[in-house]
Amino acid sequence: MSKVEFQIEYLLKNASLPILWNTVGTPLGLSEWFADDVSADNDNYVFYWEKHPQTAKLIGKKQHDYIRFQWEEDEDTDYFFEIRITTIELTKDLILTVTDFAEEDEMEDLKLLWNHQIDALKRKTGL
């Protein structure tokens, strides 16, 4: 079954770009909200949830802008997940945009999971 791309935007008021980047763009930061633990060896990341590992390859990264991964199971496809940070010039608030792919029947569950994860990120960063 093929997957469909989706995006979710989260407005983060009064957020610090360097703090947010360290939370989404580093293994230590990701282990504080996205997974129970994250380890990295060059571009190979291992995300642990309840001691169950899932491997992803870092396929793109620009500091203070975005980080993009591809799960091992999606290798040789165009599927990825990305976290992008955009600054609203007028207010200096930040928008965190998540891009991911899901099968149609799993779309709502995955969106709920991202909402839960971003809530955890907000708690960790005090947003």
Is 44 among the domain residues? yes
Is 127 among the domain residues? no
* pTM value > 0.85: yes
Q: What is the CATH number of the domain that holds 54?
A: 3.30.530.20
Taking the C-alpha atoms of residue 48 and residue 97, their distance in angstroms, rounded to an integer, is 23
State which residues form the domain around 10. Answer: 4-122
| pLDDT, tens digit, 9 for 90 and up, residues 82-126 | 999 999 999 999 999 999 999 999 999 999 999 999 999 999 888
Is 91 among the domain residues? yes
| pLDDT, tens digit, 9 for 90 and up, residues 23-62 | 999 999 999 999 999 999 999 999 999 989 999 999 999 9
Is 87 among the domain residues? yes
Is 60 among the domain residues? yes
CA dihedral 55, 1, 76, 78 (to 10 degrees): -90
